[in-house]
Chains A and B, each alone.
Chain A
């Protein structure tokens, strides 16, 4: 089974747009519900941006096993964080403050608002798992790693638009993370607790 470098670029562009869509959705939740992401949430976002970076490298520079490797390693990292956060909230009868079992089912509520019935860290497990599966399957196809420039101007334009949009998202992400965390640790209370507002 063969996959042309051009078609692989298109597939990676679709993956890149998917990851950017997830990040924009996370921003919508952050500002619409006034819920700042916690440390583990931000680490999952970091992993998603890194997955998107691997896809963007494939789109701009051409498919390469190292670029897919960036996607896979980042997805494994993000999946580990998401599983860790899911485990923290999977037992409602566990009191996080005392680290002991309790009869109060409200002692360990989920973090943030659910989306379509699931919290973001559950979606994180599903998304990172899907990335690992899809990237593994795409790498089964031969032919995509032949060094070749994009065959048309539309593919070059697609690469520049995708990389430009990704840079914009990464830059905005950096600014908002700085405004939330500053140079140090990030708040974990889930409130509207910006670092920049605590400085005054």
Chain B
């Protein structure tokens, strides 16, 4: 998933470089949704987040 998120940015960056990426903000939102999914997978809500907060 991490590789996919970075790949989407790289492809979007290529199209931006070619001046053809007015839709780039949509792909960035998609990337952040993927990032949020990875983040939620990484957090152990049942133990350490509760103790530390």
Which residues of A does B touch, CB under 8 Å? 39-40, 42-43, 46-47, 49-50, 53-54, 56-57, 60-61, 66-67, 69-70, 73-74, 77, 81, 84, 87-88, 91, 94, 96, 99-100, 160, 163-164, 166-167, 170-171, 173-174, 177-178, 181-186
Contacts and interface: CB of A to CB of B under 8 A. Distances in A.
B31 to A, nearest CB: 6
* Chain B residues touching A, majority SS: helix
Nearest to A188: B42
Contact of B22 (A61, A81, A91): A61
A181 B48 CA distance: 24
A63 B43 CA distance: 36
Given A61-B19, A160-B17, A88 B28 contact: no
Nearest to A169: B13
A72 to B, nearest CB: 11
A53 B35 contact: no
A185 to B, nearest CB: 8
A154 B22 CA distance: 22
Contacts of B19: 60-61
A77 B16 contact: no
B3 A178 contact: yes
Given A67-B25, A177-B3, A53 B52 contact: no
